[in-house]
Chains A and B, each alone.
Chain A
Amino acid sequence: MRTADVDRPDAAPARTARGAAPANERQMRLALMQTALGYWRSQILFTAFQFGVFDALAGSPMGAESLARRSGTSLGLTTSLLDGCVALGLLKKADGRYENSATARAFLVEGTPQYMGDWVRFMAHCYEPWSHLAETVRTGKPTTVMRPDAPGAEVTTRALILGMHDYANGPGSEMVRHLDLTGRRRLLDVGGGPGTYSMMLVRKHPGLSAVVVDLPSVVKIAAELIAKWDLEGRVSTRAGSYLTDDLGTGFDVVLLSNMLHQEDPEAVKLILRKAHGALVPGGLLVIQAAFLDANKAGQTWAVLMSLQLSLFYDGGRNYSIDETLAMVRAIGFANPEVKRMSLVNSDSLILATKPAP
């Protein structure tokens, strides 16, 4: 059996002894190589970002020498790194000087409306745990458990929470368009991280206020963002653990956005039960997540992210829509509905109602 056939036995006719490789085999080889070399690209981006290349080039074009002097790096390899960025379309080069590409200008310069730099910084933090994938698969346990409140976790926590903010405020913002909360007054954002969805939802719905519940070190960052968005009157924070602390009562909406995936199924059921308890009759449960396909081997983003979750959270994983619906129904929610968003959005929504007694 040829190597390329191992994963896809039905993929392609065997190459004939005398014939050239068929076009689809060339494509398969290229796809395999791109998978094997993926980290080259990540590291070039992370390293250039770490040395502040994109912010430095926000103004006028610069030569490698100025950039190397600025970041205290070697001239020869700074040049190579910058050329690597050019090859990846992150920078442009003319007359020996470098400038940001349209991608870098839109997403990698601090202060731009679509800034993704914090998210890139968080992904750079994830590189090291990914290098322990084999160990994690062998033992079934993460080698580095993400504990936002642990001593020394401040830098990673900040990167994670600001990264989540960039994501929610950028590609994740679509959910706000799909969610009609007209007439609802109080929203509880459980494990809400930066609180970005709460902020976007109260901006859309003038009568709505929100409470973001998360660990103390996380809500501290959320409070900064809420102040920055000038929403202190409408979005508040509460420090606590959604697993062990009381979530309160009387909420019209409970939002569980991309947080159930940190937990194993037993904890997910516990959270859903607590969400049920926090809602008024007729209240709305909103789950946003990257759901797996029924066979759990797609969609690509959800599957790969599920592996990443297992690197950080003991029992963490993505769930399929069917699994989630079954848990939602078992807890006593009614009329669960799946809302798929645009195809560029890897997340979907599950909405369900707490029935009147």
Chain B
Amino acid sequence: MSTEDKIAAFVEKMTAEGGTKITAETSLLDSGIIDSTGILEVVSFIESEFGIRVQDEEIVPEHFENVRFIAAFVESKKKS
């Protein structure tokens, strides 16, 4: 399972609506799929799943707008 797939599966699971198919480009923030309170669940998921540490100031739309951005952020953190 790719990084993107793992993140998409997690996001799909955490949305109470269910049934929402999340693609790599689905906007998570504007569409309200993830609220600002839900973002922390995603952060702790990627921290434990990929062994990275995310700082508060990194939790910005540029990193969390969609699954592709999150995956790219995870990959860049893994390299650093």
Using a CB–CB cutoff of 8 Å, the interface residues on chain A facing chain B are 8, 11-13, 22-25, 27-28, 31, 174, 177, 293, 298-301, 340, 342-346
Q: Which stretch from B2-10, B45-53, B55-63, B71-79 is at the chain A interface? A: B55-63
8 A-B pairs with C-beta separation under 8 A: A11-B18, A23-B18, A24-B16, A24-B18, A174-B56, A301-B35, A343-B61, A344-B40
In the bound complex, CA of A298 to CA of B34 (Å): 11
Q: How far is the CA of A315 from the CA of B3 in the complex (A)?
A: 48
Q: Which residues of B sit under 8 angstroms from A343, Cβ to Cβ? A: 29, 36, 39, 59-61, 64
Q: Knowing A174-B56, A342-B56, A344-B40 are in contact, say whether A298-B17 is a contact too (CB < 8 A).
A: no
CB distance from A178 to the nearest CB of B (A): 10
Chain A residues with CB below 8 A from B32, complex form: 293, 298
- Which one of A12, A24, A343, A344 has the highest number of Cβ atoms from chain B below 10 Å of its Cβ? A343
Tell me whether B59 and A28 are in contact (CB under 8 A).
no
Do A27 and B16 touch across chains, with their CB atoms under 8 A apart?
yes
Give the CA-CA distance A12 to B36 in the complex, in Å: 24
Q: Is the CB of A12 within 8 A of B18?
A: yes
Contacts of B80 in A (CB 8 A): none
Interface size class on chain B is: 10 to 19
Contact A346 B36 (CB under 8 A): yes
Q: How far is the CA of A232 from the CA of B27 in the complex (A)?
A: 47
Partner of B37, one of A11, A23, A31, A300: A300
Q: Are B18 and A301 in contact (CB under 8 A)?
A: no
Q: Which residues of chain B come closer than 8 Å to A299, judged between CB atoms?
A: 35-37
B56 touches A31 (CB 8 A): no
* Partner among A24, A25, A300, A342 whose Cβ is within 8 Å of the Cβ of B35: A300
On whether the beta carbons of B61 and A340 are closer than 8 Å, the reply is: yes
Q: Nearest Cβ in chain A — how far from B55, in angstroms?
A: 9
- Are A300 and B16 in contact, CB atoms less than 8 angstroms apart? no
A293 → chain B, closest Cβ, in Å? Answer: 8
| CB proximity of B4 to chain A, nearest CB, Å | 19
Contact assessment for B61 and A13 in the assembled complex, using a CB-CB cutoff below 8 Å: no
Starting from the known contacts A28-B16, A299-B36, A344-B59, 13 additional A-B residue pairs (CB-CB under 8 Å) come to A8-B17, A11-B19, A24-B16, A31-B16, A174-B56, A174-B57, A298-B35, A343-B36, A343-B61, A343-B64, A344-B36, A344-B40, A345-B36
